[in-house]
Amino acid sequence: AGSEGLRCGAQRGGQMGGTAPPWNGRIYQAQSQALFLLLLVLGQEAQSVSAATAEGGRSSREEEVASAEGEQQERWDELFAAPDADVERLAQYGGTSAAPRSLAVPPISGWSWPTSTTLSFFYTLTKKGVVVGNVTSINTGTQTEVIVLASGCREAADGGAPVLYRSIEIRSPGTQYVSAYENGAIKLVSSADRYLCYNPDYKVPVGIAARQDSAAAGSQQTLKGDLGLSTPPLALKRTTYSGNDEALANKNSKIVFMWGGIYSLCYTADGSFDEATNFKENVAPIRIKVLGVRSPCNGGPASSTKADGCIEKERWECFFSYEADGSVQNCILNFKDDGARSGWSVTAGDRSKLTWSETFGSDTLSAAGQLSSATSTQPKYCAVDAPGTAGIFNQAVSGDIIVADALTAATLPAVRSNHSTAFAVAACYCPSYSMETGEPCINGVGAASDVCCEKHVEFIQMVGVIYFWTIRICDMTNYDGVRVSGSSAGCATPYRRVLPQQKFVLRLECPPGGGCENTGNNLIKYVDITADSPLPSWKDQHPCKTSAEPASVVWPTASASETLSGGARVDYKVWYAQPVKINKSVKKDIDVCYSNSNSPTYFFKVGTIKTIDAFAFASKHPAHWDVSNVVNKSTVKYAGYQGSFTLYSGISGVHPSPYDSNLFSGKAMTYFLSYDREKFWGTGTLTTLEKYLGYDKTWPFEAQRELDSECQKFSYSTYLIDTNPLPLAQVAGASNDNDVYQTFSGTGKNQFVKVNLAGVIAVCYCAIVSDSNSCEIPTNWIYGGRMTIHGPSGDKQWVFDTEVVVKLEVNGWGLSSNDRLRIIPNTNNCEDNNGNPVGALSFKTGCPATDGLACTFAVASTTVPLVALSGPGSPGSGQSNTITAITVFNDYSQLEFKEPIQGLLQPGDVITIDYDSVIINGKDKVDELPWEKYETYKLTGEYDYQDTISAGQVLKKYVVGHTVSQVINGGIVEPNKLSIPIGWLLAGRPAFTFPAIGGQPGGRWTRRNKVQTAETLKGMALTGLDLKVQTAETLKGMALTGLDLKVCWGVFDAGISTFYKQAGTLKFITPEPMAQAQIFLTTKQANALAPTIIYFGTSPTRTDYATSGGKTKLMLRFLDV
């Protein structure tokens, strides 16, 4: 063949494309000399894929090598002189110098491919089952790579693998391959080193060629593609073209590239790859660039290991909340150059996008929740049609085709709020593929690239299964079973929130198609929210992988933490044998992590548990708890009057509610703190808790935490309430029973409470209770809400002269125009006769009277109405000042009034706003969602008892109220504005308006800390004659002038006035007569209008006259009118 040809062959051996290892002249000279002698002596037919040119000269590459050798050139020429004619003739195959030549020696160490070698792949393009034509992928000219497409596989009915290469060819124009290449073979590898071709570690898995092979029905399996891990090396046979032009080809292959990336073909002439004879192996000089996604297939629980088709079984774990409560776009598929999921990458063309399949079908299960057979799952595949998931995903903005390339991660849309079932879809990638041409878009511009990745059938590579998990918060009695419409079994109506410190059952809904394993090898754990919590679960730094369960997760036994299995069913897992408690305050979150294994390495997030936004108060002690047959005693509301205290739960519905929670299931304790009455806080001059924390001006975001801290001090007043802490609360039945009510009524469920002081109380709650029925540690106490105990301050002293018409003003809490007063003798008590005491008779009501009839003596049952200042006020009051607008800030809001408000409301007054006069987010009242109702409660300062909101019930409310403050701008008080301590953060801030509704003005309000009677009361000085005419029965109701009377405060409700608390004392004093008092007429003429002269002198014994200064006032009362 000539020394130059041998030299070229020796130099090009080694790396892909003929690139040799570093030159070792001595070794190559010895090899070349031996080969040359072998040719001369034996005259055997030499063979090399690296053919000489027809003229036998050196190629341009050889010239480059020769020039690079430098000083070794002389030695080379000496050893390899040009052969004579006989040797040259022996080297000819075909007999003439004009014909292509190939060396006639079996492959030896260092053989290489000609520079003109090409690599081609062919597949048949079909559209809807119709063959369109063949598509060829080939390197041309000086290209060193061929571009092909990664592909998945559809069902047989949909056409199997969209891109199935049926033919492969290695061709070197002008070269013949002799008989030594008759049994050649190739395999796909990830290394370009020819000396590693034998090593199985570098083999590359391939995709699925068909969903079913040709085996008999019932025995069919998926058919793996050629060149993969489960198939032998692919045979390449000599193929003759025109003349003596030959190629190495297989025209009956089934090649499906599974992974994107850069790969090589290892070739062996004898069909086998062996380390001992790897000199005969070489790497094709054309690398294979596969457009597509690459995954690690590195195993894990229920995950794929490295195998043909393994990318289809790769897992992407995503989650959504029940009814999408708090769900966000958390499902991220990332193949980026930086930040990608570990082991994942993408080799992209002009277009690189992602979509998904239709949802997997339901699994066919046995009664025990196990897969019935190997065909029990109903997976879906890619490259078929649009997924049809608009009813599941909120695709309005992103659609169902998303960019996913080396720079951009794909974020799937959030799950819609009306979807609640776990599901799975196949993740489908488009490798810049055009269904119109069958070719990828590469380096195109404009319309040349726009034709790719626009149709769902072009998303041909399946890159795993996306499992969408969801959790259900269940009670102790409804967690089990398959969910059936109309039945409560299977946690059919789960809760969105959990009660702090109360037991619940967690049920995990498994996505079909392999979401859960059919064994008990699974774990659950709860982890705290951190800055890394929003990361996708596949991130190594996700808390599910790095964090242990915190102490706030309370199991019945400590050993249960991170050790409990959810069972072996594949439709759901449930943890009920040892129900857990979350020892967190309200409005707190904790993530739920699941593992399909007993290994903590593989935990991923399946949801978030939220504690309730607020405790729900009940209106009464439930009758079914009342073992003493006391009829539904109402929740304590009035100072000095016995009542119950009950919490409510088990609230769920179509829309999220701040009160949404599981049922009560265990013991609990509570105690009351005086919020705005008792002055126990601060240093020096003590003040109320409200003012100590500044909550009379603002309600900050940290209010819950700060009030939790106050509760945890466990410092309470023994005078505020007779039994503080309140009696123990427990469920009605056994320890794991549930109940919607939790009444603090003792172990016998028949104890009640009485709050002695009116005012707003703060409720402190603890349900981590020891065997000795005490809160285990002080830090378990949390703040549970506020409510107003209605009543007067009780310390008022009124002193009036007799025969003077007066009014009484009462200060207190929760006051309204339904309040009443009754004036009683000081020997009686307001609580007498079940709140119906006998009244005093020594005063008149309805005064003054122009007809001589209305101003009459009180009787024993006389009640005096009270009126609360309000806007717009009662008809005829002349007061029409309503709220017209609100400006909301983070921790307070400013109310704007129709008219100046300063003369009506003063700083420190407490108001509530009429719920029906407020519009939130522009909605009619009937259209308000539960959370919108709650936000309106917060603005109005009045809340519904949650056990009275159902249709057909009488709605009852409790009061909290807002303390008002002046609005000062630039040192000037704004007369039409007041500030209240309630605000909303900008994110999610509601919009409030106060329009006129149904003929009623908007923005109606009521002052709650002050009420007053009409100016119609007149104390009388009883004479001896008056006393003589009284009966013995009524005489005891009389009060002699100068003696204290008691003023009782009560409420008119359901047609009855009931009195609960003493508002103060009242004394009528008969003033001493003036020293002189005369009236002088100025005319004697009858029926004439003329001035009258009144003359009087004050009594010297009244010292207050002597000390008075400034102006005085004269009032004339006609006693006989």
Please write down the HEC assignment for all residues of 703-726: HHHHHHHHHHCCCCCCCCECCCCC
Rounded to 5 degrees, what angle do the CA atoms 323, 324, 330 make?
A: 150
CA dist 1041 and 1045 (Å) reads 10
Rounded to 5 degrees, what angle do the CA atoms 208, 211, 212 make?
A: 120
For 803: left if phi > 0, alpha if psi spans -120 to 50, otherwise beta; the answer is left
Beta bridge partners of residue 268, listed in sequence order: 185, 281
Task: Give residue 880's identity as a one-letter amino acid code.
Answer: S
Mean pLDDT of 309-328: 84
pLDDT-derived band at 510, boundaries 50, 70, 90: very high
pLDDT at residue 244, rounded to an integer:
62
Residues whose CB is less than 8 angstroms from the CB of residue 592 and which lie 6 or more positions away in sequence, other chains included: 471, 506, 508, 524, 525, 526, 605, 606, 607, 608, 609
pLDDT at residue 126, rounded to an integer:
83
Question: Residue 580 pLDDT > 80, yes or no?
Answer: yes
Report which of residues 26 and 355 the model is more confident about.
Answer: 355
Tens digits of residue pLDDT in 333-377? 999 988 899 999 999 999 999 999 999 999 999 988 998 876 788
Number of other CB atoms surrounding residue 235 within 10 Å: 17
pLDDT at residue 1022, rounded to an integer:
62
Among 346-360, 447-461, 507-521, 637-651, the least confident range: 447-461
Mean pLDDT of 184-203: 91
Report which of residues 27 and 260 the model is more confident about.
Answer: 260
Report which of residues 171 and 132 the model is more confident about.
Answer: 171
Beta bridge partners of residue 763, listed in sequence order: 672, 785
Mean pLDDT of 4-18: 35
Mean pLDDT of 291-302: 88
Element (H, E) at 833: helix 832-835
Q: Which 3 state secondary structure label does DSSP give 1066?
A: strand
Tens digits of residue pLDDT in 751-796? 889 999 999 999 999 999 998 999 989 999 999 999 999 999 998 9
Tell me the pLDDT of the chain averaged across its residues.
83
Report which of residues 746 and 938 the model is more confident about.
Answer: 938
In sign, the C-alpha dihedral spanning 815, 821, 825, 830 is negative
Please give the C-alpha separations between residue 412 and each of 278, 356, 454, 605, in angstroms, as whole numbers.
48, 9, 17, 16
In sign, the C-alpha dihedral spanning 179, 183, 188, 189 is negative
Rounded to the nearest angstrom, the gap between the alpha carbon of residue 248 and the centroid of all alpha carbons in its chain is 59
Question: Residue 70 pLDDT > 60, yes or no?
Answer: no
pLDDT at residue 71, rounded to an integer:
43
Residues whose CB is less than 8 angstroms from the CB of residue 153 and which lie 6 or more positions away in sequence, other chains included: 160, 161, 207, 208, 209, 210, 211, 222, 256, 309, 312, 381, 462
pLDDT-derived band at 219, boundaries 50, 70, 90: low
Tens digits of residue pLDDT in 394-444? 887 788 999 999 999 999 999 988 888 999 999 999 999 998 889 999 887
pTM: 0.83
pLDDT at residue 1042, rounded to an integer:
55
Number of other CB atoms surrounding residue 463 within 10 Å: 30
pLDDT at residue 1120, rounded to an integer:
58
Mean pLDDT of 691-704: 97
Number of other CB atoms surrounding residue 929 within 10 Å: 16
Report which of residues 1039 and 606 the model is more confident about.
Answer: 606
In sign, the C-alpha dihedral spanning 939, 943, 944, 946 is positive
- Tokens at residue 744, please? 């603090």
pLDDT at residue 1110, rounded to an integer:
81
pLDDT at residue 338, rounded to an integer:
87
Top-confidence range, 552-566, 691-705, 943-957: 691-705
For 846: left if phi > 0, alpha if psi spans -120 to 50, otherwise beta; the answer is left
Mean pLDDT of 700-726: 93
Number of other CB atoms surrounding residue 596 within 10 Å: 24
Rounded to 5 degrees, what angle do the CA atoms 632, 636, 642 make?
A: 80
Mean pLDDT of 1026-1046: 52
Helices (H), 1059-1111: 1103-1107
Mean pLDDT of 905-917: 96
Sort 885 into a burial class: Cβ within 10 Å, 0-12 / 13-18 / 19+.
middle
pLDDT at residue 300, rounded to an integer:
74
Question: Residue 733 pLDDT > 70, yes or no?
Answer: no
Q: First-to-last CA distance in the chain?
A: 148
Mean pLDDT of 72-85: 44
CA dist 873 and 630 (Å) reads 40
Strands 942-944 and 957-959: antiparallel
Rounded to the nearest angstrom, the gap between the alpha carbon of residue 925 and the centroid of all alpha carbons in its chain is 27
Helices (H), 869-985: 930-940
Among 417-421, 577-581, 834-838, the least confident range: 417-421
Mean pLDDT of 601-614: 92
Is 583 in contact with 606 (CB distance < 8 Å)? Answer: no
CA dist 1008 and 960 (Å) reads 10
